[in-house]
């Protein structure tokens, strides 16, 4: 696992052992960033269910100003910190050891808005995806021109519209899919 582009291109990242964390494959990461390109400079990024922190780190490497990493696992938080120290992005990061819904409520109280929110919950956790989307909308955490990117299993099809969000794009990669949302007009 590595950073694929930007100022830290080629830096190897540590991944936890076991099957609890499924890092996003390079081909999916590359496609995701090609779709979003160019990344809004000085943007705020939220990497939910961070695992290794690789997506938030990729955003930072490509010019994001700050990334917030959320994971419920203390072990994963340790890995995220190691990866941020290795890539020298620790000063541009905030790490929250919490479940996603509680973390979203904390961020809302701090009145933080995000240009990019990446959601990659444990597979088969379909309700968690919808609960997370609901809390993001309720908390008004997305900037008016921001994106929500959801990595999910292919079998779980997300609606074209969810509350005030509109699906802009959808891609399949084997058994995985990525859906892109923005606030509708």
Q: What is the DSSP letter of 131?
A: H
Q: Is residue 37 part of a domain?
A: no
Query: How crowded is residue 159: how many other Cβ atoms within 10 Å of its Cβ?
Result: 12
User: Which has more confidence, 10 or 78?
Assistant: 78
pLDDT confidence band for 124 (50 / 70 / 90): confident
**Section 136-165 average pLDDT:** 92
Separation between Cα atoms, residue 121 and residue 118, nearest integer Å: 10
- Is residue 147 pLDDT above 70, yes or no? yes
Phi, psi at 179, each rounded to 5° = -115, 140
Q: Is residue 109 part of a domain?
A: yes
- Overall number of domains in the chain: 1
Q: Give the residue numbers spanning the domain of 52.
A: 44-183
Q: Is residue 25 part of a domain?
A: no
**Section 167-181 average pLDDT:** 92
Tokens 């058994």 — which residue?
175
| Crossing angle for the helix pair 74-87 and 54-61, to the nearest 10 degrees | 20
**pTM to 2 decimal places:** 0.94
């Amino acid at each position: 696992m590595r950073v694929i582009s930007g100022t830290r291109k080629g830096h190897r990242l540590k991944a936890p052992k076991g099957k609890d964390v499924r890092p996003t494959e390079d081909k999916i990461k590359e496609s995701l960033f090609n779709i979003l390109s160019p990344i809004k400079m000085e943007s705020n990024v939220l990497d939910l269910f961070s695992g290794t922190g690789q997506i938030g780190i990729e955003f930072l490497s490509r010019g994001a100003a700050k990334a917030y990493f959320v994971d419920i696992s203390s072990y994963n938080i340790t890995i995220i910190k190691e990866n941020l120290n290795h890539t020298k992005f620790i000063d541009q990061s905030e790490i929250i050891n919490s479940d996603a819904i509680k973390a979203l409520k904390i961020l809302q109280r701090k009145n933080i808005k995000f240009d990019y929110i990446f959601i990659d919950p444990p597979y088969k956790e379909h309700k968690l995806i919808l609960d997370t989307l609901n809390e993001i909308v309720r908390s008004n955490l997305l900037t008016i021109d921001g994106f929500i990117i959801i990595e999910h299993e292919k079998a779980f099809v997300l609606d074209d519209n969810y509350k005030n969000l509109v699906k802009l794009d959808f891609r399949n990669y084997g058994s995985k899919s990525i859906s892109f949302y923005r606030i509708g007009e």
